Structure 1
Amino acid sequence: MLRRTLVCLPAAAALLAGCSSQRLQQGEAFAAYLSFLFRGLPALKALSAWDQPPYFEAVEAGTGRTTTGKYTERLVVSSQTSVEFRREWKDADAARQVFPDMHPSAAKSLMQRSEAARSLYLPTSRLPPKLIVDLVSPQLIQDALGPGADLNERWNRFYERYPESRGIAHFSAAGISVDGQQAVFTYELGCGPTCGCGYAVLMRRVKGAWWVEDHRMMWIS
C-alpha cells in the first residue's frame, strides 16, 4: 500500500503543477486582454468594425443619466469564472467554428475547464496602469445590485457602490493549448438595463507576452 502511494505521488505533483501553470497562464491572458480593452493595444490581425472593443453608453453613478465615451478606469470583475457561454458552445467543435485557427487542444481545454465555475486569478502586476479592478464575488455583486424589479434602480445602486466603474465583467475559464501558446475564453460585460456585450477571445503568446489574435462579438444589448 505504501509503495503504491509513493508511486502515485509524482503523478499527483505533476497534475498540480499543470493546474497551477494553466491558472497562471489564464490570469496573464486575462490581464493582457484588459490591456487590449483599456489601453487600446492592437490585435495581431485586423478586426472588423463589428468586432472592435465596444464603447457603450453607461449609466452615470446615481443619476440615471447616460454618458458616451471610452472606458473609465475602474471595472468590477466577478471572482468566479462564468459557464454561461456553454449554452452556445456545446462542445469543442462548436468553439472551433467561431475560431477556425484555434488549436484543437485549446478548444478541448476550454470545455474541460468550464464544466464548473472556478476562482479567478488576476495578476495585479500585469494589469494596465491606473486601472482599478474590483474582484468581487457573485454574491456581493448581487448585493450591490439589490432586490427589486426596476432595473434602472438596481443599476443605480450598483454605481453608487462602485462609482466610475465601467460595469460588471465576467470571464469564462480559459482553454490553453498543449504548447501553452494559445488561449481562448469569453468576456461578457453588463453595464446597465440595456447595456452589455459578449465576446469570444482568441489570444496567442508572442515572445512571452499574450496578444489578442482574434476577437468576435457574440451578443450585444
Structure 2
Amino acid sequence: MIRWRRVLFIALVAGGIVATAILTPVAYFAYRAAARAVVHPIPATDVEQRDILRVLLETQEYSGVPPPPGYGGGEPAPKKKFLVFIDRTLAICSEAETVPAGDDRCPPWSRSLYPAEIDPNIPERLVRELMAGNREARVAAVPDLPALVVADQAEIRAVLDSGSWDAFYARYPDSTGLLLTTRAVLSADRSRALIYAEYYCDGLCGTGTLHYLRRAGGSWTIERNFRCWIS
C-alpha cells in the first residue's frame, strides 16, 4: 500500500513538473501578447512635429503631375511653386484589422494600417502607437515655410469629393499637389519617431508612406520609408 502511495506521489510530482514546463512558455507568450496589446502613444510636441515635417519636405519627392507630352525637347517644364498642406491631421482607423475602412466605427476620411504587412524593421509597437495616437483628426502643427500653403480641410474635401482635380488646380494653379499627415509618435526615449503621410497630385497620382526617423544631435533624419500604397 505504501509503495502504491509512493508511486502515486511520484506520478503527481512528475505531472506537475511536465505541466509547469508546458504552461510556463504558454503563460509567457500570453503575457507578451497582452503587453503588446497595451500601447501608450507618445505624441510629438508641436515643435517636434514641425521639425519632422521639415525633414519630409526637404527630402521627399512632392513634384506634382509629370509635365504633359511635348516637354523635354528643350522647352522647360512649367514651374510649380508650392505644396498644399491640410490644416488637420489624418485619422487612422485603429480597428482596421477587423473593421473595413468606411465602416461607421472608422472616422471619416480615415486610413487603415495593417502592422503585420509593414516592414519588420519598423517596430510594430510604434506602428500600433501611431494608430492609437491618431484615432481622430486634430489641428495640424505646420512648419512656416514659403513653399507650403495651409488649406482648410473642409474646403479641400468639398473640392475633391466633387471628383474634380481641375477644380483643385484652378484654385491652386501653382501647386504641386496635396499633403496630409498624421501626428508623429515617438519612442519612449524620444530618439525615434514614426509618421504617416499621404501625397496626392491627381486622381491617379499619389502615395501613402510611413516614415521612420532617428534623432541624433538635436536633428531628425529618415532611417526608413515604407510605401503602403501608390497610384
TM-score (norm 1): 0.64
Deviations 1:126-162 (A, max 9, x none): x4xxx42111121111344473xxx4xx111111111
Whether contact under 8 Å (1:169, 1:187) holds in the other structure is yes
Distance in 1 of aligned mates of 2:121 and 2:198 = 22
Query: Which secondary structure state, in structure 2, belongs to the residue aligned with residue 196 of structure 1?
Result: strand
Tell whether 2:47 aligns with 1:32: no
Superposition CA RMSD, Å:
3.2
**Larger RCO (CA within 8 A; separation ≥ 6):** 1
Match of residue 74 from structure 1: 82
Distance in 2 of aligned mates of 1:66 and 1:216 = 34
Pair 1:185–1:146, CA change in 2 (3 A): closer
Tell whether 2:176 aligns with 1:134: no
> Which has the higher Rg, Structure 1 or Structure 2?
2
Distance in 2 of aligned mates of 1:171 and 1:66 = 34
Pairwise mapping of residues 13-162 of structure 1 onto structure 2 (< 5 A)? 22-37=45-60, 53=61, 57-58=65-66, 72-84=80-92, 87=96, 88-90=112-114, 94=115, 98-103=118-123, 106-124=126-144, 127=145, 131-145=146-160, 147=162, 151=163, 154-162=164-172
Matching residue's letter, 1:98? I
TM-score (norm 2): 0.62
Number of residues of Structure 1 aligned to a counterpart in Structure 2: 170
Query: Which secondary structure state, in structure 2, belongs to the residue aligned with residue 110 of structure 1?
Result: helix
Gaps of 5+ in 2: 1-41, 97-111
Shift in Å, 1:123: 2.5
Distance in 1 of aligned mates of 2:71 and 2:154 = 28
Pair 1:77–1:215, CA change in 2 (3 A): same
Gaps of 5+ in 1: 1-17, 38-52
Match of residue 218 from structure 2: 208
Deviations 1:158-180 (A, max 9, x none): 11111111111110221111111
% same residue? 24
Shift in Å, 1:83: 2.1
Matching residue's letter, 1:220? I
Pair 1:179–1:220, CA change in 2 (3 A): same
Shift in Å, 1:99: 3.9
Whether contact under 8 Å (1:199, 1:217) holds in the other structure is yes
